[in-house]
């Protein structure tokens, strides 16, 4: 990148360099903590302009900011290099701004790549032009890459994270583009972009582990060993070279560090862990009521029905269709009486229509993006001609936050943000459409990847302010750090077997990228679910943080009772299990808020030394003690299962198994193989139809043979009182079925009753 190292200056933990050819760019390396180093080249001359790390954000110190305490640092010249040492990591800065990182014993963790670059295998200009014709140019490079970094790869390195990318758990050998993209075609493992941009990756080495967070929200590129076996490359067309190297002792450490900086997914309300029923096409009051009644008639637990774009008047946001609804407020309150909450979709595009209040207010206050001529930029989305709120402007976010009152007053319980890549029907938004990036105008190319993030942030702030509960926001598009404000779903999957398979690594990688509360549409969104596919999907989906059955207009209806008696019974079995597991899921959500470690985990996150799990795509863990091995093959009535080291119990039969090997497990259509670790305690609630249903406030502690301890957490499941100490914490010990419960924090009412159930004690 640059030439010889000429000079350097030390100020606290920050070392600023001068190289041949680096005039004015102020390349620097800064020690943030013992394990986090920042590498920065100020191409823009604007300094760090992170939208992921927010100084001063949040109610608790862990919610997304750079740690304030200064790490102990030692800086000295060694030969031609400058060596920067923290207690845990050493960086060596060489000529050309080649930065090498070592662990505390001096073993290399990540070295700059110094060799020649191989010939690029990327798309030719011609291929790019062809793809542009099909609307896929969004994934291609269009400009010169400015900020670029090339780093060495070792043979054994595996790469995880990167948000919602398609394909498999291990991202090595693939190439990705960070450019939030709405792609309706079935997502394949060769896709480079999807809806979210999370430029954070974890590298698991034969010995050692580290993370790279490339905090550049413009269009960026990751070649993770496609071009070469020997190195990976990341870079961006605009913005700065601004990345964090995170060293740690484990993948979990790296995730904790990343989420300490960008924020941790906070506790959601308890009911959000219930079952959600949705479909695009519940086009009237009658349809919604029919679905709610169907759920209850079939004795199916459910906490929420989603209102897709059908409920709006001509797809105008913050309005209701008066022709298809007599009284929306009454519908919502009738649902509430059945224990079912309403979540409404809100798109960013505002219909161009005289006298439509949202449009008029936005125009009057200059809140919509403009073209380079200064006119309000118009594209088309669901309402036809539409304009785009400039969410990067804090005033616009404030206005949009106030708009949420419309929904809150109607009794709505949460918001589902769609189309916020932003998507558009009349070609993509041109790169030069003028938006705002906080305090300065910025072209679309520089705010595209944070558009959904800013929309979610504004929605969160509105609900926090006006609803007084933990805001429940679901988004399709996001950036690093969005987990502070919003949950997410994986967008338009299809009812095809490759997509139930893909859901597992996709949710695991989102979780490792900070986005904890996520789910894929159960049953698949596009195309038509078969009874078998739906049965398998609800079995796997009931273990995901967001458990929502959703499908597209025009496709086969997909409520659990649409596939016959057998599939209905299977659905009920797993929906009931979901409700039994509520306190376990809630404990895990609490753990995520405290540590950043996601609820759903790939096996490699718990057993990183085990080479058998580094590429395990078809199993996952719920917390550290429950392993799920769903059937994701059409026609299969058995499957291969791998259990890592230790003793495991088959959740359904009690069969005891020693880990460390593969075996074939029989799995008829009603069985999703689940294993529980020896010594585990799993907290449960009695089966119920919705979370608020009173069941004597009973907590059931299921104890498995073996020894172990467990931390259980309890609060009101609704508001932020827990941050003022309104919660209980229990330490539960299991000595081979002898269970003791010790209260460790008292700030909330006690359970009506705690019951111990010993499972599989012969």
Could you count the other beta carbons within 10 Å of the beta carbon of residue 669? 16
Whether residue 531 contacts residue 539, with contact meaning beta carbons closer than 8 Å, is answered with no
313-317: which pairs have CB atoms within 8 A and are 24 or more residues apart? Answer: 314/351, 314/353, 314/383, 315/347, 315/351, 315/381, 315/382, 315/383, 315/384, 316/350, 316/351, 316/353, 316/356, 316/358, 316/383, 317/346, 317/347, 317/349, 317/350, 317/351, 317/358, 317/403
Residues within window 502-541 making contact with ligand MIG, judged by CB under 6 A: 525
Q: How far is the CB of 79 from ligand MIG (least distance, A)?
A: 56
H helices present in 472-517, as ranges: 497-512
Ramachandran assignment for 614, one of left (phi > 0), alpha (psi -120 to 50 degrees), beta (any other): alpha
CB of 452 to ligand MIG, least distance (A): 12
Among 99, 203, 309, 570, binds ligand MIG (CB under 6 A): 309
- Footprint of ligand MIG on 435-494 (CB under 6 A): 476, 491-492
Contacts (Cβ under 8 Å, ≥6 apart) of 29: 14, 15, 17, 37, 38, 39, 40, 84, 91, 93, 99
> Is residue 159 left, alpha or beta, with left meaning phi > 0 and alpha meaning psi from -120 to 50?
beta
Residues 269-308 close enough to bind ligand MIG by CB under 6 A: 280, 308
3-state secondary structure (DSSP) of residue 568: helix
The whole-angstrom separation of Cα 456 and Cα 478 is 8
Strands 698-703 and 661-666: unpaired
In the bound complex, what is the minimum distance in angstroms from residue 544's beta carbon to ligand MIG?
A: 16
Beta bridge partners of 211: 202, 246
CB 643 within 8 A of CB 674: no
Instruction: Compute the least distance from the CB of residue 557 to ligand MIG, in Å.
Output: 14
Of the pair 240, 506, the CB lying nearest ligand MIG is at 506
Give how many residues touch ligand MIG by CB under 6 A.
Answer: 10
Please give the structure tokens belonging to residue 616: 């395990």
Task: Give the DSSP H/E element, type plus range, for residue 700.
Answer: strand 698-703
Residue 409 beta carbon to ligand MIG: minimum distance, rounded to whole angstroms: 23
Nearer to ligand MIG by C-beta: 283 or 726? 283
Q: Is 164 in the site for ligand MIG (CB under 6 A)?
A: no
Residue 412 backbone phi and psi in degrees, to 5: -65, 150
Per-residue contact flags (x/-) with ligand MIG for residues 324 to 353, judged by CB under 6 A: ---------------------x--------
Within 248-327, residue ranges assigned H as helices are 251-262, 285-297
Burial (Cβ within 10 Å: 0-12, 13-18, ≥19) of residue 499: buried
Q: Pick from 418, 559, 576, 608: which binds ligand MIG (CB under 6 A)? A: 418
Return d(Cα 555, Cα 525) in angstroms, integer: 8
Return the active site residues. Answer: 418, 421, 492
Which residue bears the tokens 């996001």? 478
List, in order, residues 6 or more apart from 609 with CB less than 8 Å away.
none
Q: Residue 36: enclosing H or E segment and its boundaries? A: strand 36-41
Query: Considering beta carbons, is residue 488 or 600 the nearer one to ligand MIG?
Result: 488
Phi, psi of 439 (to 5 degrees): -125, 15
Phi-psi region of 560 (alpha: psi -120 to 50; beta: other; left: phi over 0): alpha
- Give the 3-state secondary structure of residue 445: helix
220 three-class SS:
strand
Contacts of 390 (CB under 8 A, 6+ apart): 367, 368, 369, 396, 435, 436
Kindly tell me which of 237 and 328 has the beta carbon lying closer to ligand MIG: 328
Torsion on CA atoms 360, 364, 366, 367, rounded to nearest 10: -40
- Do residues 552 and 566 make contact, with C-beta atoms less than 8 angstroms apart? no
Sign of CA dihedral 315, 316, 320, 324: negative
Distance CA 377, CA 639 (A): 53
Work out the end-to-end distance of the chain between its first and last CA atoms, rounded to an integer number of angstroms.
Answer: 67
Contacts of 697 (CB under 8 A, 6+ apart): 751, 752, 753
Contacts to ligand MIG by CB under 6 A: 280, 308-309, 345, 418, 476, 491-492, 525, 550
């Amino acid at each position: 990148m640059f030439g010889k190292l000429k000079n350097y200056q030390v100020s606290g933990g920050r070392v600023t360099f001068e190289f041949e050819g680096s005039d004015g760019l102020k390349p620097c390396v800064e020690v943030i903590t013992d394990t986090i180093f920042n590498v920065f080249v100020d191409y823009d001359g604007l300094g760090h302009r992170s939208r992921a790390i927010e100084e001063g954000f949040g109610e608790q110190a862990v919610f997304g900011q750079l740690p304030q305490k200064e790490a102990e640092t030692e800086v000295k010249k060694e030969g031609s290099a400058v060596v920067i040492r923290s207690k845990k990591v050493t960086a060596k800065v060489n000529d050309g701004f080649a930065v090498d990182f070592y662990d505390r014993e001096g073993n290399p963790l990540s070295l700059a790549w110094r060799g020649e670059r191989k010939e690029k295998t990327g798309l030719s200009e011609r291929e790019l032009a062809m793809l542009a014709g099909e609307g896929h140019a969004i994934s291609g490079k269009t400009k010169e890459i400015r900020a670029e970094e090339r780093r060495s790869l070792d043979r054994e390195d595996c790469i995880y994270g990167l948000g919602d990318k398609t394909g498999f758990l291990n991202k090595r050998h693939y190439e990705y583009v960070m450019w939030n993209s709405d792609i309706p075609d079935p997502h394949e493992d060769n896709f480079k972009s999807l809806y979210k941009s999370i430029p954070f990756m974890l590298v698991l080495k034969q010995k050692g582990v580290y993370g790279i967070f490339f905090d550049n929200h413009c269009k960026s590129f990751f070649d993770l060993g496609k071009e070469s076996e020997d190195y990976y490359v990341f870079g961006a067309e605009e913005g700065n070279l601004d990345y964090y190297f995170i060293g740690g002792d484990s993948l979990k450490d790296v995730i904790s560090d990343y989420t300490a900086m960008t924020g941790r997914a906070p506790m959601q309300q308890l009911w959000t862990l219930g079952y959600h029923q949705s479909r695009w096409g519940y086009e009237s009051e009658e349809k919604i009521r029919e679905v709610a009644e169907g759920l209850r008639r079939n004795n199916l637990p459910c906490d929420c029905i989603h209102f897709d774009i059908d409920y709006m008047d001509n797809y105008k946001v913050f309005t209701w269709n008066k022709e298809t609804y007599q009284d929306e407020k009454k519908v919502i309150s009738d649902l509430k009486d059945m224990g079912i909450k309403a979540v409404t979709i809100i798109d960013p595009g505002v219909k161009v229509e005289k006298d439509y209040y949202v449009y008029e207010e936005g125009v009057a206050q200059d809140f919509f993006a403009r073209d380079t001529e200064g006119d309000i930029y118009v594209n088309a989305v669901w309402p036809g001609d539409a304009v785009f709120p400039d969410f990067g402007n804090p005033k616009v976010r404030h206005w949009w936050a106030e708009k949420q009152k419309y929904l809150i007053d109607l009794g709505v319980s949460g918001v589902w943000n769609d189309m916020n890549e932003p998507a558009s029907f009349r070609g993509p938004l041109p790169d030069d459409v003028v938006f705002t990036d906080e305090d300065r105008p910025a072209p679309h190319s520089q705010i595209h990847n944070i558009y959904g993030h800013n929309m979610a942030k504004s929605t969160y702030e509105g609900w926090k302010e006006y609803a007084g509960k933990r805001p429940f926001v679901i988004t399709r598009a996001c950036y690093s750090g969005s987990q502070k404000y919003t949950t997410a779903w994986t967008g338009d999957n299809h009812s095809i077997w490759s997509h139930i398979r893909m859901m597992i690594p996709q949710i695991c990688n989102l979780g490792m990228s900070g986005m904890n509360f996520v789910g894929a549409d159960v049953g698949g969104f596009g195309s038509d679910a078969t009874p078998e596919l739906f049965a398998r999907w609800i079995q796997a989906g009931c273990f995901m943080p967001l458990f929502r059955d959703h499908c597209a207009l025009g496709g086969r209806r997909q409520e659990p009772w649409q596939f016959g008696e057998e599939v209905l019974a299977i659905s009920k079995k797993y929906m009931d299990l979901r409700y039994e597991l509520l306190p376990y899921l809630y404990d895990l959500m609490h753990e995520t808020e405290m540590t950043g470690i996601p609820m759903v985990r790939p096996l490699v996150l718990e057993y990183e030394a085990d080479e058998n799990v580094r590429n395990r795509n078809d199993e996952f863990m719920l917390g550290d003690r429950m392993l799920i091995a769903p059937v994701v093959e059409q026609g299969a009535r058995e499957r291969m299962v791998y259990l890592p080291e230790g003793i495991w119990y088959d959740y359904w039969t009690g069969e005891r198994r020693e880990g460390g090997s593969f075996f074939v497990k029989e799995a008829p259509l009603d069985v999703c193989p689940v294993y529980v670790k020896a010594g585990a305690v799993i907290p449960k609630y009695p089966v119920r139809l919705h979370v608020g249903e009173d069941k004597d406030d009973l907590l059931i502690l299921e104890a498995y043979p073996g020894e172990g301890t467990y931390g259980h957490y309890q609060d009101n499941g609704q508001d932020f009182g827990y941050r003022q100490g309104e919660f209980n914490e229990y330490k539960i010990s299991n000595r081979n079925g002898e269970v003791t419960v010790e209260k460790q924090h008292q700030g909330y009412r006690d359970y009506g009753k705690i019951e111990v159930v010993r499972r599989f004690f012969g």
